[in-house]
Structure 1
Amino acid sequence: MATKTNRYRYEPDFAVPPGATLQETIDQLGIDQRELAERTGLTAKTLNLIINGKAPLTQQTSMLLERVTNVPARIWNNLEAEYREQLARLEAREELAKDIQWLKQVPTKDLIERGFLEETKDKVVLLEQTLSFFRVASVAAWKDGWCEGQFSFKKSSDASCLDCRLATWLRIAEKKAESIEVAAFSKQRFAKAVREARSLTTSSPAEFVPQLVKLFADSGVALCLVPEIKGGKINGAARWISPSKAMIAVNLRGKMNDIFWFTLFHEAGHILNDSKKQTYVDVGYSDDPREESANRFARETLIPKAYEAELSNTKSRVAVLRLADEIGIAPGILVGRLQYERILKFSQLNPLKQRFEWSNGG
């Protein structure tokens, strides 16, 4: 869970010009605006505009006021800066208010529960927090960043950009990846790490997760196991955080072990074989050749081609256990492959599969 920072404190819906403080100051000194104009050399009109917030209080003016009022110039300058900042915030708030409806697409409740957003009844403040979470300045920038072709989809529909729920899940993964220290990426080391990872398929999550995270980190890949966002049907994703740091994210959605490991190696295939400029998102079937290539990589990593000839004759529990042991993978992974190839029915030998129970986000 993210740590709350209380960044989003209450902001007034009005701005107080430094002229208000100036008027109070000269009142206490028993000086009116006309006399102040004479003492500073400014025109009465200029002073009136400053006092009413219609003209800026410049640094030159602040030094003149310092000599007359004994209030340091830096205080007048700070009051002016705070006033201008608050005016800008009020203008920005008006602009943000036009995009409030977009929040309905974002799972803000989930983000609040996970500690990424602070609970508030102010929708504009909530929108500001949400944009900061995505590290963009506006909804328009969000659409440009998340919908303009940087994603390769393994998808079941012809979507042109990420659903907000999927984007939210991916952003959580990115934030987690940013906090993971890794070595500079080495394709050779990562390829070796992937081969070694296959031997972990017979272990439980409590055993293999810390080993996987370290194995991948040592080769430049941040492995993130991220709980699902309700309604966000995503299996996994792969992308480059920087030229020397990659990220693989896997959704913790009560996965059976065959799906988990296939997803992991599918994403590893993207990191090893595809462009660093794309983000690869796995949400189902795709005819994209890059996705099929990643599928093939996962299949052949889990069950090398040398064993494919034996698959058609592997139909009993005993045969599955024997071949899985020979390959060095969990029997459930082999069952999943046999079901996919229609060698087994989807109702057969499912007890050999293992449903992972995740705790504390993996």
Structure 2
Amino acid sequence: MVDIQNEFQPDYAVSPGEVLSVELELRGMTQQELAKRTGITPKHIISILKAKSVITPETAIKFERALGMPVDYWLNLEAHYQEILARQAEEERLERDLDWLTRIPVNSMAKMNWIEKVKDKKQQLVEVLRFFGIANVEQWDDMWPNLNVAYRQNQTHEVFPEAVSAWLRQGELEAADINCAPYNKAKFRESLDQIRALTTEDPAHFVPAMREHCAMAGVAVVFVPALPKTGVSGATRWLNKDKAIIQLSLRYKTDDHLWFTFFHAAGHILLHGKKELFLEGTNGLDQEKEHEANTFAEHELIPQKVFAKFISDRDFKKTSISAFAKSVGIAPGIVVGQLQHKGLLNVKFCNDLKQRFKWAHE
């Protein structure tokens, strides 16, 4: 078996018209005579000779009869010529789009085996386009910035939309492998009570369990490590009317952030439309709907009446927080996170009650 490592790709193109011109010269045949023999107008013959018109199957048949050269010969010439022109145009397009590649976290994506790392920049760009499932950068402009996505994002650092879209694309690919029942709002709402009870468990138990509960209700849950220049901890969007995605990055690596992000995302699914764009921060975000998702997460995680009573007692010792968390069936780290968020507990206090997570590759 022969393994061809380098296939020759010419950087020049010989048009069928140039070949035709040589054949006419060898035969001592004028353009006018060829026109008479084929019934093709002299104007069209000139257009073919100047590569302004293509050789169609009909034209190839006429050339075969007039010149004695097979139809396949002319059609192969034309196909090869058009392929070379297309490759040249693609090379120019790739060269022009290399600047876009600098905004893609290629090294991080390659380390996680999302894409292959190659030395040639143009080939690397092709690899990234394949990852996104698009023909060229223009299609990225059409598809990704307008995705129906609601992601909780830290707005204090620079964010590259290209990097965010790469993270989202990986989530989409992983979600495609999760078999889900058609979305059922009532089932999803019911599953949240079961998932809330998992907050005291370790990831080996709660990850597969929450995935199973959500899949049965039409929601795919995927865990995808955050990329540089994303600042993203979670996202929610719909693949179609019957399947939603909750995507979690484990960015802050503590249980309070993870569970709040999950229930925040669940709030978007239950409360808001399937075609809307939600971005948390100051970049055009629908603040009212973000507030609704935040409120939903708070109320789902901790019953507000008993939490208000606990807060009014002002007893935020570790033992008291742990006892309260146990009484409401929630992880103590979530209570700590809520108290810190409300400014009732110093962000440096009681963090050892939080469960910390890390990715397997770390």
Q: Give the structure-2-normalised TM-score.
A: 0.80
Is 1:237–1:279's contact at 8 Å kept on the other side of the alignment?
no
**Cα distance in 1 for residues equivalent to 2:347 and 2:336:** 9
Q: What is the number of equivalent residue pairs in this alignment?
A: 350
Identify the range of structure 1 (189-198 vs 76-85) with the bigger mean alpha-carbon deviation.
76-85
Deviation, 1:258, is 1.0
Map of 2:4 onto structure 1: none
Q: CA shift at 1:66, angstroms?
A: 4.5
Q: 1:324 to 1:91 in 2, by over 3 A?
A: same
Note the C-alpha offset of 1:81. Answer: 2.9
Deviates more, 1:323-332 or 1:268-277: 323-332
Q: Cα distance, 1:47 vs. partner? A: 6.8
Q: Say if 1:71 and 1:269 are closer, same or farther in 2 by CA, change over 3 A.
A: farther
Change (3 A) 1:360 1:245: farther
Deviations 1:243-300 (A, max 9, x none): 1111110013361111111111111110111111124345799781111111111111
* Post-superposition CA distance 1:37-89 (Å, at most 9, x none): 49767689977875774542221122234557877535543442342243134
- CA-based RMSD of the aligned residues comes to 3.8
Q: Distance in 2 between matches of 1:330 and 1:55?
A: 73
2:225–2:249: 8 Å Cα contact kept in structure 1? yes
1:358 Cα deviation (Å)? 2.1
SS at match of 2:324: helix
Q: Which residue of 2 aligns with 1:332?
A: 333
- Is the deviation greater in 260-269 or in 127-136? 127-136
| SS of residue in 2 equivalent to 1:98 | helix
Q: How far did 1:104 drift?
A: 1.8
Task: Give the equivalent residue in structure 2 for 1:239.
Answer: 237
Distance 1:258 1:284 in 2: 24
CA distance in 2, matches of 1:142, 1:293: 31
More displaced stretch, 302-311 vs 253-262 = 302-311
Aligned to 2:346: 345
Quote the residue 1:359 is aligned against.
Answer: 360
Q: Partners of 1:67 and 1:320 in 2: how far apart? A: 93
Report deviation, 1:360. 5.6
User: In the alignment, which residue of structure 2 is the partner of 1:304?
Assistant: 303
User: Map of 1:1-362 to 2, 5 A cutoff?
Assistant: 12-18=10-16, 32=27, 34=29, 37=34, 50=48, 53=51, 55-66=53-64, 73-74=71-72, 76-147=74-145, 154-155=152-153, 157=155, 163-253=161-251, 255-281=253-279, 288-312=287-311, 313=313, 314-359=315-360
| Partners of 2:253 and 2:316 in 1: CA distance | 23
**Residues 122 and 358 of structure 1, relative CA distance in 2, 3 Å threshold:** closer
The answer to whether the 8 Å contact 1:193/1:216 transfers is: yes
Between 114-123 and 315-324, report the one with greater CA deviation: 114-123
Flag the 1:85–1:347 CA change in 2: closer, same or farther, 3 A.
same
Helix, strand or coil at the partner of 2:321: helix
2: CA distance, partners of 1:214 / 1:272:
18
Gaps of 5+ in 2: 1-6
3-state secondary structure, aligned to 1:227: coil
Q: Does the CA-based 8 Å contact 1:154-1:291 persist in structure 2?
A: no
1:119 Cα offset (Å): 3.5
Partner letter of residue 302 of structure 1?
L
Letter of the aligned partner of 2:302 in structure 1? I
> What percentage of residue pairs aligned between the two structures are identical?
36
1:4 matched residue in structure 2: none
The change in CA–CA distance for 1:71 and 1:200 in structure 2 (over 3 A counts) is farther
What is the alpha-carbon distance in structure 2 between the residues aligned to residue 179 and residue 102 of structure 1? Answer: 29
After the TM superposition, which of the residue ranges 220-229 and 78-87 deviates more from structure 2?
A: 78-87
Structure 1, 282-291 or 38-47: larger mean CA deviation? 38-47
Paired with 1:128 and 1:119, the residues of 2 have a C-alpha distance of: 11
Q: Which moved more, 1:221-230 or 1:334-343?
A: 334-343
Contact 1:131 1:138 in 2 (8 A): yes
Greater shift after overlay, 198-207 or 74-83? Answer: 74-83
More displaced stretch, 341-350 vs 59-68: 59-68
Q: Deviations over 1:69-117 (max 9, x none)?
A: 8775355434423422431342243244333322222212323334444
Contact 1:213-1:223 at 8 Å conserved across structures: yes
Opposite residue 329 of structure 2, the aligned amino acid is G
- The amino acid of 1:222's aligned partner reads A
Match for residue 3 of structure 1? none
Q: 1:246 to 1:151 in 2, by over 3 A?
A: closer
The residue type equivalent to 2:298 in the other structure is R
One-letter amino acid matched to 2:332? P
TM-score by length of 1: 0.80
- Check whether the contact 1:191–1:272 (CA below 8 A) recurs between aligned residues: yes
